[in-house]
Every structure is written in structure tokens, then in C-alpha cells.
Amino acid sequence: MAIYAIGDLQGCYDDLQNLLNKLNFDPQQDTLWLAGDLVNRGPDSLKTLRYIKSLGEHAITVLGNHDLHLLAVAEGIKEAKDEDLHQVMHAEDCRELIDWLRCRPLLHHDVTRKLTLVHAGIYPLWTLEQALAHAKELESILQGDRYHDFLHVMYGNEPATWEDTLEGWDRLRFICNSFTRMRYCNKEGRLDLVDKGKPGSQIKHYQPWFKIPKRKAKDKPILFGHWSTLGHPQVENIYPLDHGCVWGGQLTALRIDVTPMEYISIDCPGVRRPGEN
């Protein structure tokens, strides 16, 4: 039995199948860990959702910001600008897919393998235990009766700094942004949720979240996606998975049941170009 962690799919179904063929993936024996952003921007979000859902317990996926955007679209809070998401909205199994998606976790931690999967990262001033607790806070809302209310207030960059005293929607929005949108922050833990560029292009005094000197989960291996311009930083316990498939980069799998863990990638033709929304 093999276990592969795969970066952002964003509706690139054919690329996923090409990668799985290269891996000789057996859906009856092997397992996929997906780093979120299953949908949006690519050509086949509907087929991608259906396939991952069909794998049942052989697929573990965490929520990304594009997945949450799809939930907002499905509830009529945001408009589906891409035809790709319109196809999901008009599918006969749309409600089933949406309900399945909103019940995915924000963070998956494998106690046996001591590996953590998340979309964007773990806020540097949180321990792993705190991150698990905060993920549960928001998951209980998304999977409960108040998820529609949260989606209405989900969008926004504030608050940008964590305080244990944060309450209500502000608290949940910060938790959501940390798990699904974070790239850069400063040593005080203030997030910059605007800059999407590669390291070295950021504003002064900000660093990638995993380079903050006093990061509390530094000794915990973390697998994450979200940052297609990041590349392969040589940082201990940091395993980026998003290598820009939708932009014409690569779709990457990390085999995690072997030592050392092994990256396997395929080149992708790309359906978007850098600079497009």
C-alpha cells in the first residue's frame, strides 16, 4: 500500500490521471492525501470532485481557499465567474458534492506517521496542538447549521494578527485565513495576505510563515500546497506540494510511506497564465 500527498489540483482532472498513471496508483490499495484546492481555474472541477469523492477512505483532502469559495458560490453568496464552476452548480449531484466538500477537515494529522497536511500552513505562533484545536473550531461551524452564516463573513484580510481573546467571526476568519491563505508574516505574527510572489519579492520585515524564527511547530513535518511560486525551499520539516499545475508548471506527488519520502512530478500544459485571475 502506497500513500501519496498531492498538491493543488484546481480542476486539472486529466493531469491528475496522468500523474496517477505514472504512480501506478491502485484505488483499492493506495491512498491519496490532497492538499486542498481541488477546484477552480482548471477545466474539470466537476470530474475532479466526483473522482476524489469516489475514492472514499482512500482519499484524505483538506480544504483550500478555492474549495471554500465554491461553497460560497453554492450558497449564492458569490458569483461563479468561471464556466468550470457553473458546471458544478448545474450538476445533478451538486448538493451531494457540496455537502461532502464542506465536511472535509482544515487540517489532517497522522499520529502514526507524525505528518501534518494543511492547505497553506500552520500559523507560526501556534503549536500543533493549538492548530488542531483551532481547526476543529472552524470545522464545527462549516459542518454545522451556521456554515452559511460564516461564508457570508469569510472574505477579508482582518484581523491580521492572532490574539487569544479574538471572538466571533473575527476569530474564525483569522483561523480560516491562516489555514487556507497564509504565505507571508512578520516576526510578531502579522499576516500579509496580499503578496503572492516568490520569496525574495516580499515587503521588508516579512518572511515565509515557515521561516519565522520563533515558529512553534518547527519540529513537526508539514505538508502543504497553496504557494505555486514557492519552489523547493531547503527548510527542515517543510514539504511544499503546489508546483503550479494549472499555470503550466508541474503536478507533484510526495510518497510519504517510504524513507526518505520521494517527490514524483509530471509536467502540465497549463490552462492559465501567470497574472490571470
pLDDT digits (tens, 9 = 90+) for 107-132: 999 999 999 999 999 999 999 999 99
* pLDDT at residue 274 is higher than 60: no
Strands 31-34 and 3-6 turn out to be parallel
Contact 4, 256 (CB under 8 A): yes
What is the predicted pLDDT for the residue at 231? 86
- Domain 3-267 in CATH 3.40.50.1460: no
Q: What angle do CA 233, 61, 120 make, to 5 degrees?
A: 35
* pLDDT at residue 102 is higher than 80: yes
What is the predicted pLDDT for the residue at 234? 85
What is the predicted pLDDT for the residue at 61? 98
What is the predicted pLDDT for the residue at 272? 59
* pLDDT at residue 270 is higher than 90: no
Q: What angle do CA 35, 61, 41 make, to 5 degrees?
A: 60
Instruction: Map residue 244 onto helix, strand or coil.
Output: strand
* pLDDT at residue 139 is higher than 80: yes
Closest by CA position to 239, among listed 260, 257, 219, 225: 225
Write out pLDDT tens, residues 176-199. 999 999 999 999 999 999 999 999
pTM (predicted TM-score) = 0.95
Average pLDDT for 69-74: 96
What backbone torsions phi and psi does residue 56 show, to the nearest 5 degrees?
60, -130
Res. 79 pLDDT band, cuts 50 70 90: confident
For 155-190, give one letter per residue: b (16+ CB within 10 A) or e: eeeeeeebeeeeeebebbbbbbbbbbbbbbbbeebe
What is the predicted pLDDT for the residue at 51? 98
- Average of per-residue pLDDT values in the chain: 95
Closest by CA position to 233, among listed 246, 247, 219, 243: 243
Write out pLDDT tens, residues 224-255. 999 999 988 889 999 999 999 999 999 999 99
Write out pLDDT tens, residues 46-70. 999 999 999 999 999 999 999 999 9
Domain range list for the chain = 3-267
Q: Which residue has the cell 470532485?
A: 49
Q: Distance (Å, rounded) from C-alpha 166 to C-alpha 160? A: 11
What is the predicted pLDDT for the residue at 128? 98
Instruction: Map residue 100 onto helix, strand or coil.
Output: helix
Res. 273 pLDDT band, cuts 50 70 90: low
